[in-house]
Chain A
Amino acid sequence: MIPTEVEKILLKVQKPGRYVGGELNSVMKDKSKVDLRYAFCFPDTYEIGMSHLGMKILYSVVNKRDDAWCERVFAPWVDMEELMREKNIPLYALESGDPVKDFDMVGFTLQYELSYSNVINMLDLAGIPLYSKDRESLTPLVVAGGPCVCNSEPVADFMDVIMLGEGEETTNELLDLLKLHKKKGSTKHEFLCDVAKLEGFYVPSFYDVEYNEDNTVKSVTPKYTAPEKAVKRVISDLDTVHYPESFIVPSIEIVHDRVTSEIFRGCIRGCRFCQAGFIYRPIREKSADVVNEQSKSLCKTTGYDEISLCSLSTSDYTEIEPLLDKMLSWTVDKKINVALPSLRVDNFSEELMQKLTAVRRSGLTFAPEAGTQRLRDAINKNVTEDEVMETARKAFAGGWTGVKLYFMIGLPTETLDDVAGIAELGQKVVNEFYNNPDKPKGKGVTVNISASSFVPKPFTPFQWEAQDTMEQLSEKQQHLMASVRTKKINISTHLTPTSFLEGVFARGDRKLSKVMEVAWKKGCRFDGWDDQFHFDLWMEAFKECGIEPEFYANRKRDFSEVLPWDHLDYGVSKKFLMKENEKAHRSETTQNCRQKCAGCGANKLNGGKCHAMC
Chain B
Amino acid sequence: MRCVRIRFTKTGRMIYVSHLDVNRMMARAVRRAELPMWYTEGFNPHPYIAFALPLSLGQSSECEYMDIRIESDTMTDEEIKEKFSAVMPEGAEIKSVTAPVYDINEICGAKYQVKLIFNSDDEAKAFCEKSTALLDGGELLAEKKGKKGRRKVMKQVNLIEQIFEKEVALDGSEVLMNLTVAAGNTVNLNPALLVETLSKETGICPDLQYIERKDLIIANGVSFR
Contacts and interface: CB of A to CB of B under 8 A. Distances in A.
Q: Do A and B bind each other?
A: yes
Interface of A: 2, 4, 7-8, 10-11, 16-17, 19-24, 249, 251-253, 299-305, 334-335
Interface of B: 12-14, 16-18, 21-22, 24-25, 27-32, 34, 39, 45, 57-58, 87-91, 207-208
Given A251-B89, A300-B32, A335 B45 contact: yes
Given A17-B16, A21-B13, A4 B208 contact: yes
Contact of B21 (A11, A252, A303): A252
A253 B17 CA distance: 10
Contacts of B32: 300-303
18 contacts: A7-B208, A17-B21, A19-B16, A22-B12, A24-B25, A24-B87, A24-B90, A249-B25, A251-B21, A251-B25, A251-B89, A252-B17, A253-B24, A301-B32, A304-B28, A305-B31, A335-B39, A335-B45
A20 B30 contact: no
Given A17-B18, A249-B89, A303-B28, 7 more contacts: A11-B58, A24-B90, A249-B25, A253-B21, A299-B31, A302-B28, A304-B28
Residue in B25, B27, B30 whose Cβ sees the most chain A Cβ within 10 Å: B25
Which are the 6 A-B pairs with shortest beta-carbon distances? A303-B28, A22-B13, A24-B89, A303-B31, A303-B32, A20-B13
A300 B34 CA distance: 9
A8 B57 CA distance: 14
A251 B15 CA distance: 11
A304 B90 CA distance: 18
B41 to A, nearest CB: 14
Contacts of A303: 27-32, 87
Among B32, B58, B207: residue with most chain A CB under 10 A: B32
Contacts, number: 67
Nearest to B13: A22
B21 A16 contact: no
Most chain B C-beta atoms within 10 Å of own C-beta, residue among A2, A17, A253: A17
Nearest to B32: A303
A22 B58 contact: no
Contacts of A24: 25, 87-90
Nearest to A28: B90
Contacts of B22: 251
B16 to A, nearest CB: 4
B58 A10 contact: yes
Contacts of A301: 32
A603 to B, nearest CB: 42
A302 B29 CA distance: 8
A4 B208 CA distance: 9
A305 B37 CA distance: 14
A300 B91 CA distance: 21
Contacts of A10: 16, 58
Nearest to A23: B89
A334 B89 CA distance: 22
Contact of A22 (B14, B28, B31, B34): B14
A95 to B, nearest CB: 11
A252 B17 CA distance: 6
Contacts of B34: 300
Contacts of B16: 10, 16-17, 19-20
A305 B207 CA distance: 42
B89 to A, nearest CB: 4
B13 A2 contact: yes
A4 B210 CA distance: 12
A293 to B, nearest CB: 17
A251 B14 contact: yes
Nearest to B44: A360
Nearest to B20: A253
B94 to A, nearest CB: 14
Contacts of A23: 89-90
A305 B87 CA distance: 16
A335 B39 CA distance: 11
A545 to B, nearest CB: 41
Contacts of B21: 17, 251-253
Contacts of B89: 22-24, 249, 251
A16 B24 contact: no
A547 to B, nearest CB: 43
Nearest to B206: A8
Contact of B207 (A8, A299, A302): A8
Contacts of A16: 16, 57-58
Contacts of A253: 21, 24
Nearest to A19: B16
Nearest to B88: A24
